[in-house]
Structure formats: C-alpha cells, structure tokens
Amino acid sequence: MRGNEARYPTFEEPMKENPMEPRISAIERDVSLIKDQVAKLSIGQAELKGDINNLRTEVKGEINGLRAEMKGEIQGLRAELKGDINTLRSDMGTLREEMKGGFAAMREEWKGGLSALETKMMRWFVATAFSCAALAFSATRLFS
C-alpha cells in the first residue's frame, strides 16, 4: 500500500479492564499488608509493655530486697562501730589513769630527787663555808 491509498479502518479492541484497576488493587493489597503488620506490631508492643512491667516489678523487688539487706548491714556496722567507740573510750580512760599514776610517780621521784639535791647542795654550802672559815683562820694565824 502506498501512502495515498485507502485503508480499512481497524478498530482496536476495547480494554477488558480499566488501566487504573491493577494499580488500585495493588494499593489495596499493600494497605491490607500494612494493616496486618501494624496489627502485629501493636500485639508485639503490648507483649513488650507486659514484659517491661514484669521487669520493672522484678527490679523494684530486687532493689527493695537490696535496700533491706543494706539497712541490716548498716545497722550491724553501726552497732559494731558503737561498740568499738565505747571500747576506745574505756581504753582512753584507762590510759588516762595510767598516765596520771605515772606522772604522780614521776613528781614524787622528782621531789625526792630535788630534796636529795637540796640536801647535797646544803651540805656542800656548809662544807664550803666551814672550809673557807678554816682557811681564813689559818691565814690569820699564819699572818699574825
């Protein structure tokens, strides 16, 4: 056929479906899948919330148990510390009394030593005075 010859009109077959129908059905299928997945997520979220609440309860229980245990240990340590402090106080009182006794003994010893020293000094002074007097008398006898 040449370009200017008549042709028989050929009619295209009418479409069986609307071209938007497959797209709409794909979108509907995707929406239903998304809905299913969201439903699964919400179920998983509810289970997760339950697990979190259970864990929270367990942790609170453990914390309360540890708190009670620590309170008991602190009370025990406090009682032990009070006992140690009281022992230290009594030991300090005993040490104080021993020191008082030691100081008193040293005072008495020093007093005795000072008395003996005073006695020796007095004897020396008297002996020196007598020696000087004897020397003076001897000198006067010698020179007179």
> Which is more confidently placed, 78 or 143?
78
The pLDDT, as a whole number, for residue 134 is 87
CA 19/CA 125 separation, integer angstroms = 146
Please report which confidence band the pLDDT of residue 18 belongs to, taking 50, 70 and 90 as the band edges. Answer: low
CA 6/CA 8 separation, integer angstroms = 7
Residues in Cβ contact with 7 at an 8 Å cutoff, skipping those fewer than 6 apart: 1
> What is the value of pTM for the model shown?
0.41
Copy the structure tokens of residue 10. 């050929």
What average pLDDT does this structure show over 2-6? 66
Q: What angle do CA 19, 25, 26 make, to 5 degrees?
A: 100
pLDDT over 60 at 14, yes or no: no
Asked if 88 and 94 touch (Cβ cutoff 8 Å), the reply is: no
The pLDDT, as a whole number, for residue 69 is 92
What average pLDDT does this structure show over 29-51? 90
The pLDDT, as a whole number, for residue 3 is 62
Q: What angle do CA 130, 132, 133 make, to 5 degrees?
A: 60
Residues in Cβ contact with 68 at an 8 Å cutoff, skipping those fewer than 6 apart: none
> Which is more confidently placed, 85 or 22?
85
Task: Kindly tell me the burial class for residue 108, based on how many C-beta atoms sit within 10 Å of its own C-beta (0-12, 13-18, 19 or more).
Answer: exposed
61-117 pLDDT per residue, tens: 999 999 999 999 999 999 999 999 999 988 888 888 888 888 888 888 878 778 888
pLDDT over 70 at 15, yes or no: no
Please give the mean pLDDT across all residues of the chain. Answer: 85
Q: How far is CA 99 from CA 22, 29, 92, 119, in A?
A: 109, 100, 10, 29
